[in-house]
């Protein structure tokens, strides 16, 4: 049971390049999330998928697209990378716990856009 | 205005002492809260969740929730150097039929000095 996995671990892009960050979970969770983390800003939600086949915008969706490929996989795409997208990206999935869901995070992808 | 606020620290405590972390929130509808620990360069890991007013203890950690005053706190007893990390407070907002959006505070950095 690997939990939540992300690829790649590190990536350097030039401005204008595109790339897709991959995320997979093997915990049979319905909900998945993409966050970015910048120094002093905490974690901010980019997009989420409450269930297979649905996706919705979070707090900072501009410049990103997502695909919920199946129940296990949720990818994040940067179509035209900008230096402002330099960040650490975390994928998470969640399972019901009591009154709410508990989220479990992947190891993160460190992205630098030059 | 950020919905979940934390003092960024660093909070410096001597080994063996109690570390006290606080978090305030603005959404009176929030029913539960989470404390995540994040070591430098790593992903957040869940250490405590709390749903009801009062205290919840788990080993050396105690979470306290006061819904009337809209704050949640985390106490770390007998602090160890291995507790040195950033602690993130998060409160959820229910979304549609499943899952939740977590709003994170900026985190409090804790340094435990031997």
Query: Which residues lie closer than 8 Å to B47 by C-beta, 6 or more apart?
Result: B35, B36, B37, B58, B61, B87
Q: Which of A30, A58, A106 sits opposite B43 (nearest CB)?
A: A106
The band of A78, judged by pLDDT with boundaries at 50, 70 and 90, is very high
Rounded average pLDDT over B50-70: 91
How many separate helices (H) and strands (E) can be counted in chain B?
0, 11
The pLDDT assigned to A63 comes to 96
The pLDDT assigned to A71 comes to 94
Does residue B97 register a pLDDT over 50?
Answer: no
The rounded mean pLDDT for chain B is: 88
Which of B100, B103, B104, B106 is best to mutate for the A interface (most A CBs within 10 A)? Answer: B100
Using a CB-CB cut-off of 8 Å, the residues of chain A touching B90 are 43
Cβ–Cβ pairs < 8 A, chains A and B: 78
Q: Chain B residue with minimal CA distance to A43?
A: B104
The pLDDT assigned to A98 comes to 64
Q: Which of B43, B44, B97 sits opposite A50 (nearest CB)?
A: B97
Where b means 16+ CB within 10 Å and e means fewer, A57-85 reads ebebbeebebebeebbbbbbebeebeeeb
């Amino acid at each position: 049971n690997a939990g939540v996995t992300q690829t790649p671990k590190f990536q350097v892009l030039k401005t204008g390049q595109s790339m897709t960050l991959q995320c997979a979970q093997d915990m049979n969770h319905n909900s998945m999330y993409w966050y970015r983390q910048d120094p002093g800003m905490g974690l901010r939600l980019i997009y989420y998928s409450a269930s297979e086949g649905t996706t919705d915008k979070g707090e900072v969706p501009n410049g990103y697209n997502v695909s919920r490929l199946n129940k296990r996989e949720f990818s994040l795409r940067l179509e035209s990378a900008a230096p402002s997208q330099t960040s650490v990206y975390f994928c998470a999935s969640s399972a019901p716990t009591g009154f709410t869901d508990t989220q479990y995070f992947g190891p993160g992808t460190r992205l630098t856009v030059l | 205005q950020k919905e979940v606020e934390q003092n960024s620290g660093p909070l410096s405590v001597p080994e063996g002492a109690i570390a006290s972390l606080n978090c305030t929130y603005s959404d009176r509808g929030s029913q539960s809260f989470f404390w995540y620990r994040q070591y430098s360069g790593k992903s957040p890991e869940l250490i405590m969740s709390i749903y009801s007013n009062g205290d919840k203890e788990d080993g050396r950690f105690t979470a306290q929730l006061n819904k009337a005053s809209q704050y949640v706190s985390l106490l770390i007893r007998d602090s160890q150097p291995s507790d040195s990390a950033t602690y993130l407070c998060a409160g959820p907002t229910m979304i549609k039929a499943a899952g939740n959006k977590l709003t994170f505070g900026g985190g409090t950095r804790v340094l435990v000095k031997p």
